[in-house]
DNA sequence: TGACGAAGCGGACTGTGGTCCGCTACGGTC
DNA sequence: GACCGTAGCGGACCACAGTCCGCTTCGTCA
């Protein structure tokens, strides 16, 4: 299949839209920013935004995967226990804590990226990476049903769940992280 | 506080709306039914629907809690292993399987009830019951962090997760149920 | 039974996400 | 450089969730 290059104007507009969205989200919050505003700020028609990103969730996912790249780096080639070198069980616990922090930090963006009726929402973008990583660690640790448990763990760290937890338990995120790390370890050993 | 009785016309309209929604959902699917249609079918203004149910999610939750009541009965006073009489661990495994089936059966309704930006979405209505039940069984089984693990288990059975699973793995729901039952047992023992 | 305060009603209205389609300009070819 | 097929553009347009507020009806008290 011929890998058709992205046209110059399309590339320019893509960057403009991403920059505009990032700026508006920072200035006035994710919830108060409309797609029209993003398009206007980017100096671009609304149709262009939708052609490129599909919908709001797609735009959010794009922004998010940029930010997730850094965490992916730390996992693949950073120091243990998050990176390679530690026991699978420890790595999984470290991942749970780190991923919780990531989700909590970008909560509204993640929430947006998961919303909408676009088939299997979050199941696009970087989600595959997280799932793969967890499933791999679980199977290394000799757990049963590694694929299923990977998804179970990630489901416990979904935006809805995290929102609920931080909203209810307030600032006690570190206790939560500890509990989730214990949970991850349990999943890996049994 | 004075428990003000529901006005007669309000009660009548509430039943009409619920019946209209149920009929339309059955006839043309949840996704293709608009709030205007529900209101029109019920012979009621749109404002009335919103006054009573808050939003789409609220309406869906109401319908859902009616249907969930039956499962609640089976849990509280039905035969084991779902009902009382079996070991906590077995009951939890049975619950996981039964709840999965419930979610899969009412998938689009549950999805709708969880959508929307109304604070902590599903965290209203019957969710409290499920959480309570799981947390109780887990603590009976001597598990650590019973409250957290109850939520983790339910998160793994959230509508998004279930949708993803049945959408991807197709008809193999029984294998999934078995895996989730194992997972529940693991959570209870460790 | 009449009167009155308030709960409840309803549908016009608004804001926003997403679509559509005629127009533009990019970039490959001769 | 001129030409042309097509990817990409843009903003008018549409559908639908949710709000608002003047009007209606309920039910209570005398």
Single out the residue of A157, A136, A129 nearest to residue A84, CA to CA.
A136
Query: Cβ contacts of residue A38 below 8 Å, gap of 6+?
Result: A17, A20, A21, A24, A49, A59
So what's the pLDDT on residue B5?
80
Query: For B78, which DSSP code?
Result: S
Shared domain for B64 and B50, answered yes or no, is no
Which letter, b or e, does each residue of A127-155 get, where b requires 16 or more Cβ atoms within 10 Å of its Cβ? bebbbebbbbbbbebebebbebbbbbbbb
Shared domain for B68 and B135, answered yes or no, is yes
Query: Cβ contacts of residue A108 below 8 Å, gap of 6+?
Result: A29, A30, A31
Shared domain for B88 and B42, answered yes or no, is no
Average pLDDT, chain A: 91
Shared domain for A81 and A169, answered yes or no, is yes
Hey, are the CB atoms on B155 and A161 less than 8 Å from each other? yes
Q: Per-residue confidence at B1, pLDDT binned at 50, 70, 90?
A: very low
Helix, coil or strand: residue A24: helix
Shared domain for B90 and B184, answered yes or no, is yes
Q: How far is CA B46 from the centre of its chain?
A: 25
Shared domain for A93 and A138, answered yes or no, is yes
Residue A155 near residue B156 (C-beta atoms within 8 A): yes
So what's the pLDDT on residue A99?
97
- Count of all residues that appear for chain B in the document: 190
Shared domain for A28 and A66, answered yes or no, is no
The domain tally of chain A equals: 2
Which letter, b or e, does each residue of B149-173 get, where b requires 16 or more Cβ atoms within 10 Å of its Cβ? bbbbbbbbbbbbbbbbbbeeeeeeb
Residue ending a domain, choose from A11, A35, A54: A54
What DSSP letter does each residue of chain A carry, written as one string? ---PPPPHHHHHHHHHHHHHHHHHHHHH-STT--HHHHHHHHTS-HHHHHHHHSSHHHHHHHHHHHHHHHHHHHHHHS-TTTSBTB-HHHHHHHHHHHHHHHHHHTHHHHHHHH-S-SSSTTSSTTHHHHHHHHHHHHHHTT-SSHHHHHHHHHHHTSHHHHHHHHHHHTT-HHHHHHHHHHHHHHHHH-
Shared domain for A23 and A65, answered yes or no, is no
**Residue A125: pLDDT over 90:** no
CB-closest option in A151, A155, A190 to B190: A190
Q: Per-residue confidence at B116, pLDDT binned at 50, 70, 90?
A: confident
pTM of the full predicted structure?
0.90
- CATH number of the domain encompassing residue B41: 1.10.10.60
**Residue A123: pLDDT over 90:** no
Shared domain for B160 and B142, answered yes or no, is yes
Shared domain for A76 and A127, answered yes or no, is yes
Q: Per-residue confidence at A1, pLDDT binned at 50, 70, 90?
A: very low
Which letter, b or e, does each residue of B94-106 get, where b requires 16 or more Cβ atoms within 10 Å of its Cβ? bbbbbbbebbbeb
**Length B167 CA → D2 C1' (Å):** 53
Domain that holds residue A28: 1-54
For residue B31, the chain A residues in CB contact (below 8 A) are 117
Shared domain for A93 and A184, answered yes or no, is yes
pLDDT digits (tens, 9 = 90+) for B80-103: 999 999 999 999 999 999 999 999
Shared domain for B79 and B103, answered yes or no, is yes
Residues of A with CB under 8 A from a CB of B: 31, 114-115, 117, 119-123, 144-145, 148-149, 151-152, 155-156, 158, 160-161, 163-165, 167-168, 176, 179-180, 182-183, 186-187, 189-190
- The average pLDDT across B145-171 equals 89
Residues 29-88 of chain B in contact with strand C via CB under 7 angstroms: 43-48, 50-52
Helix, coil or strand: residue A86: strand
Hey, are the CB atoms on B123 and A151 less than 8 Å from each other? no
- CATH number of the domain encompassing residue A95: 1.10.357
What's the distance, Cα to Cα, between the start and end of chain B in Å? 45
CA-based diameter of chain A, in Å? 55
């Amino acid at each position: 299949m011929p890998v058709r290059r992205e046209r110059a104007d399309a590339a320019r507009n893509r960057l403009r839209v991403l920059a505009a969205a990032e700026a508006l989200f920072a200035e006035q919050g994710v919830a108060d920013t409309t797609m029209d505003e993003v398009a206007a700020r980017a100096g671009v028609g609304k149709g262009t935004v939708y052609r490129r990103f599909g919908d709001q969730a797609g735009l959010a996912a794009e922004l998010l995967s940029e930010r997730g790249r850094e965490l992916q780096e730390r996992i693949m080639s950073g120091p243990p226990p998050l990176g390679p070198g530690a026991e699978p069980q420890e790595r999984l616990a470290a991942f749970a804590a780190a991923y919780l922090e990531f989700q909590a930090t970008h909560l509204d963006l993640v929430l947006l990226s998961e919303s909408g009726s676009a088939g299997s929402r979050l199941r696009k973008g970087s989600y595959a990476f997280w799932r793969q990583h967890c499933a791999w660690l679980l199977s290394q640790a000799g757990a049963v049903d590694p694929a299923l448990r990977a998804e179970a763990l990630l489901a416990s760290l979904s935006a809805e769940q995290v929102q609920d937890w931080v909203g209810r338990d307030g600032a006690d995120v570190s206790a939560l992280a500890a509990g989730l790390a214990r949970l991850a370890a349990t999943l890996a050993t049994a």
